[in-house]
Amino acid sequence: MCTHKRRMHQTLFDPMDHPNHPRQDPVHFPTDRRLRIWVRPPVPALTALAVAFPVAVAWAQYFLTGLPEVPHVPRLHPDSISDPQGFPAWLRITHYVNFLFIALLIRSGLSILMDHPRLYWNAHCTPGTEWLRFTPLEVPKDRVWQAKDDARYISPWLALPGYRHTIGVARHWHLLCALLWVASGLVYVGLLFATNQWMRLVPTSWSILADAWAVFINYVTLHMPAEIEGFHSYNALQQLSYFTVVFVMAPLSILTGLAMSPAIDNRFPWYPKIFGNRQAARSIHFLLLVGYVGFVVVHVATVVATGLAHNMNSIVLGTKDQGATGIVLGVIGIAAVLAACFFAHWLSWHYPRILQRLIGRIHTFIGTLFFDHITPRAQYSKEDISPFLWPNGKMPTSAEWESMAANDFKDFRLKISGLVEHPVELSLDEIKAMGKQEQITMHHCIQGWSGIAEWGGLPMTMLCDIVKPRPDAKVVVFRSFGDGLYGGEYYDTQPIENVLRAQCMLAYEMNYQPIDRLYGAPLRLRVENQLGYKMVKWIKAIEFVDSEKAVGEGYGGKNEDDEYFDLTPEI
Ligand SMILES: Nc1nc2c(c(=O)[nH]1)N[C@H]1C(S)=C(S)[C@@H](COP(=O)(O)O)O[C@H]1N2
Ligand SMILES: [Mo]
C-alpha cells in the first residue's frame, strides 16, 4: 500500500494523497438529506417585534412631524480639505480581500455548524434545550443516539466542503481564513487610522444616533434620502452600520470564536463567561454570521439602488465617473470569488491532506507561541455537572471486550509498552490503587457541543513515574477496543509533554460512578486542553513511540487519518 510512501513524504503536495479519500462516500451522502430549521417559538415573535417596533415608531413620527432632513456626515468637517477623498487602492483591495475571506468563512462555518446542528444558550447541550436546530430529528429517548448520528448533510452549494462528517476539512478552511481575515483586517484598520479614512467610519459625536434615526425614517417611509456624495462621506445610518460591522461585529466574531477553544476555556474559565458560557458564545458566533449575510444583502442592494455604475467605479477603481468599467471589473471580481469557492471545494475533495498539512504547520507555529504555555486548570463545581453528556464513538463489539465487560473488567489488563524502561500490564484494581485525581471539567467536542462532568482516574504523570519513558519516547499512543467511524482500530496520540500536564488522566470514574460502558469503560483518556476526539475511550493499550508517523496512517490518530482532523486541536 501507499501508506509507507505517504509517511516518507511530508511535503504539502503529495501525489499519493489523491486516491485515498473516497472511503467515506456512503456516509457523506446519506439518504436523509432534509434540512429543517426549527426555532424556539418566542424567537421569531420577538425578532418580528424587534423589527416592527422601530418601523412603527418611525412611521408615527413621520405622520406627526413630517420627514426629517438628512444631515451631512461627517458633520465636524464640512469644508475641510483633509476629509477623505475617494477610495485609495489599499481600501479597495482590503474591501475585496475581506469579501473573499468572509465568503469562505461563512461557507466553512455552515459546514461546521451542521456537524452538531443545534444551538443553545446553556453550557450543557441537553437535547430539547436548544433554541435553534437545523435538523428535523428529535433525539430519540429509547436508544443510544450518538452526537455523530445527529450530524446533518449540507449541500456543497451552501457550505465548504458540505456533505456530512467533513468537519475536519471545514475547520481547516475556517481557521486558515480566520487567520488571513484577521491579518487583512489589521492592515485595513491600521491604514484607516494612518490616513484620514477613519473619519468616514468612526462617529465622533453622539449626534450620530439622532442623525441615523432621521435617515432610518427616510428609508422606512420609502423616501430615498437625497443622494449623499458617498465618495466623500456616508449618511449617518450608513456610517453607523459600517462602524458596527468593522468595530463591533468583527471583533465579536474573533472573541466568540476563541471562546470555543478547549485550551483557553479550560485555562481561563472566566473568558467564555463574558458571553454567558461556551454555547452562548457559539450562538452569538452564529448570529454574527447571520448578521454578515444580512449586511451583505442590504449593502449590495443599496449599491445597486443608488447608482450602480457610479458606485462600482468608486468601489473598484476609486474614481467618480459614470462609465461601465467599474461594473465590468466588479463582476469579474465576484466571479473570481466564486471561482475561489469552487477551487476550495475541489481541493477539499481531492487533496484534503494538503489542507491538513498546511494548517498543521500553522498550528505548530501558533502552538509554540501560545498554546504550549497554557496548562488546563479549570474546575467546575458539583452543581455545574451536566444532566446529560452527549456520547460519541462506536462501542466496542469484540468478544474480548464484551466478556470482560460482563465480568466488570476483572480480567482486563492495560498493556503499556514501547520506549519505556518498565513495560507493565496492569489490572483495573492495580491502576486504582496507584493513585486517584478528581476533576470536574468541560468537555469540548469538535462538533460544537460541550458538557461538564466529574472524572476520577490515574494522572498520566503517575503512570509515567512507574513505566519510566526513555528519552527517545516523544509520543504516547492510546489504542481502543472500539473501531473508528469507517472501521479499523480507534486510536489517538499525544506528545509526551502534553500527557505530563495537569488534568491529563486515565479516567475510570465518571460522575462519582465507575465509568459506564457507553462512556468508555474500563478506561478513557482526559486531556482537557484539547478537543474530544483526542480522548480515546475503551482504552486497550498504551504505547510510547518516537513519532506518530509510525502509527496507523501516520497522521496521529484515527480521525486524523480518516477525516483529516488536526493533530493538536487546542482551538
Ligand atoms: N474509542 C473511541 N474513543 C472516542 C471516540 C470514538 O469514536 N472511539 N470519539 C471521541 C469523541 S469525538 C468524543 S467527543 C468523545 C466523546 O466522549 P463522551 O462519549 O464521553 O461524551 O470521545 C472520544 N473518544
Ligand atoms: Mo468529538
Within-domain flag for 570: no
361/412 same-domain check: no
Q: Is the pLDDT score of 165 beyond 70?
A: yes
Q: How far is the CA of 391 from the centre of ligand 1 (A)?
A: 7
| pLDDT, tens digit, 9 for 90 and up, residues 440-469 | 999 999 999 999 999 999 999 999 999 999
**Rounded CA gap, 396 and 383, in Å?**
32
For ligand 1, the distance from its centroid to the CA atom of residue 542, given in whole angstroms, is: 17
* Ligand 2 midpoint to CA 21 (Å): 21
pLDDT in tens, 412-428: 999 999 999 999 999 99
Whether the CB-CB separation of 233 and 74 falls below 8 Å is answered with yes
Q: Is 403 exposed, middle or buried (0-12, 13-18, 19+ CB in 10 A)?
A: exposed
The model's confidence at residue 26, banded by pLDDT at 50, 70 and 90, is: low
Q: Flag whether 12 is in a domain.
A: no
Instruction: State whether 354 and 404 are in the same domain.
Output: no
**Residue 216: inside a domain:** yes
- Say which DSSP state 138 is in: P
Q: pLDDT exceeding 90 applies to what percent of the chain?
A: 84
* Domain membership flag for residue 347: yes
- Predicted local confidence at residue 17, as pLDDT: 59
CA 499 to chain centre: 25
Whether pLDDT at 193 is above 70: yes
- In the reported structure, the alpha carbon of residue 159 is separated from the centroid of ligand 2 by a whole-number distance in angstroms of 20
What is the rounded average pLDDT for all residues in the chain? Answer: 92
| Unique residue bearing C-alpha cell 477539499 | 348
Going by alpha carbons, the residue nearest to atom 2 of ligand 1 is 537
* Number of separate domains in the chain: 2
**Final residue belonging to a domain, choices 319, 336, 371:** 371
Q: Does one domain contain both 59 and 79?
A: yes
Q: What does the CA dihedral 23, 28, 30, 34 come to, rounded to 10 degrees? A: 180
Amino acid found at 249: M
Instruction: Output the residue whose Cα is nearest ligand 1's atom 7.
Output: 393
Same domain, 347 and 421: no
| Pocket flag, ligand 1, residue 480 (CB < 6 Å) | yes
Which residues on adjacent β-strands are paired with residue 469?
420
Res 380 pLDDT > 80:
yes
Q: Which of 535, 559, 563, 566 to mutate to test the pocket of ligand 1 (most atoms within 8 A of CB)?
A: 535
> 26 in helix, strand or coil?
helix
Q: Is the CB of 532 under 6 A from ligand 1?
A: yes
Q: How confident is the model at residue 367 (pLDDT cuts 50, 70, 90)?
A: confident
Task: For helices 167-194 and 325-350, give the axis angle rounded to 10 degrees.
Answer: 150
CA–centroid distance, 463 to ligand 1, in Å, is 22
Give me the half-sphere count of Cα atoms (radius 13 Å) on the Cβ side of residue 302: 17
pLDDT digits (tens, 9 = 90+) for 542-560: 999 999 999 999 999 999 9
**Ligand 1 atom nearest residue 390's Cα:** 21
If asked whether residues 359 and 409 sit together in one domain, one would say no
Among the bound ligands, name the one nearest to the CA of residue 446: 2
What string of DSSP letters covers 457-477? EEEHHHHHHHH-B-TT--EEE
| Residue 255 Cα to ligand 1 middle (Å) | 27
Residue 142 lies in a domain: yes
The verdict on the CB of residue 445 being under 6 Å from ligand 1 is yes
Q: Is the CB of 478 under 6 A from ligand 1?
A: no
In angstroms, what is the span from residue 554 Cα to ligand 2's centroid? Answer: 20
Instruction: Evaluate whether residue 236 is within a structural domain.
Output: yes
Ligand 1 pocket check: which of 260, 533, 534, 562 to mutate, most ligand atoms within 8 Å of Cβ? 533
Distance 114 CA to ligand 1 centre (A): 18
Cα separation of 87 and 189, whole Å?
Answer: 14
359 and 387, same structural domain?
A: no
Residue 132 Cβ < 6 Å to ligand 1:
no
pLDDT at residue 369 tops 90: no
Spatial CB neighbours of 534, under 8 Å, sequence gap ≥ 6: 492, 494, 525, 527, 557, 569
User: Cα torsion at 342, 345, 349, 354 (round to 10°)?
Assistant: 100
Q: Among 385, 392, 519, which is best to mutate for testing ligand 1, by the most ligand atoms less than 8 A from CB?
A: 392
Q: Is the same domain home to 224 and 299? A: yes
Task: Examine the domain organization and report whether 149 and 271 are in the same domain.
Answer: yes
Q: Give the closest ligand to the alpha carbon of residue 401.
A: 1
Ligand nearest to the backbone CA of 537: 1
Q: Is the CB of 314 under 6 A from ligand 1?
A: no
User: Are 529 and 262 within 8 A, CB to CB?
Assistant: yes
Q: How far is the CA of 537 from the centre of ligand 1 (A)?
A: 6
Substitution candidate for ligand 1 out of 537, 538, 561, 566 with most atoms within 8 A of CB: 537
The answer, yes or no, to whether any atom of ligand 1 lies below 6 A from the CB of 565, is no
* Residue showing cell 500490564: 425
Domain hosting 406: range is 382-563
Give 281's contacts (C-beta < 8 A, 6+ positions apart).
256, 259, 260, 272, 275
> 390 C-alpha to center of ligand 2: Å?
9
The residue among 340, 371, 402 that closes a domain is 371
Residue 231's pLDDT band (cuts 50, 70, 90): confident
User: The domain that contains 401 carries what CATH number?
Assistant: 3.90.420.10
176 C-alpha to ligand 2 centroid (Å): 21
Q: Is residue 367 part of a domain?
A: yes
Please say if the pLDDT value at position 23 is more than 90: no
Task: State whether the beta carbon of 441 lies less than 6 angstroms from ligand 1.
Answer: no
**Nearest ligand to the CA atom of 392:** 1
pLDDT at 21 over 70: no
Same domain as 448, residue 305: no
pLDDT digits (tens, 9 = 90+) for 111-120: 999 999 999 9
**Is 365 found in the same domain as 462?**
no
Q: 398 and 316, same structural domain?
A: no
Domain match, 355 and 418 both? no
Q: What is the pLDDT of residues 338-353, one digit of tens each?
A: 999 999 999 999 999 9
Q: In the numeric block, which cell numbers belong to residue 33? A: 438529506
Above 70 in pLDDT, residue 497?
Answer: yes
* Predicted pLDDT of residue 233: 78
pTM of the model as a whole: 0.94
Burial class (CB in 10 A: 0-12, 13-18, 19+), 362: middle
Kindly state the percentage of the chain with pLDDT values over 70: 92
> How far apart are the C-alpha atoms of 187 and 185, rounded to whole Å?
5
On whether residue 149 sits in a domain, the answer given is: yes
Q: Is 525 in the pocket of ligand 1 (CB under 6 A)?
A: no
pLDDT score at 24: 53
Instruction: Choose one of 336, 371, 406: the last residue of a domain.
Output: 371
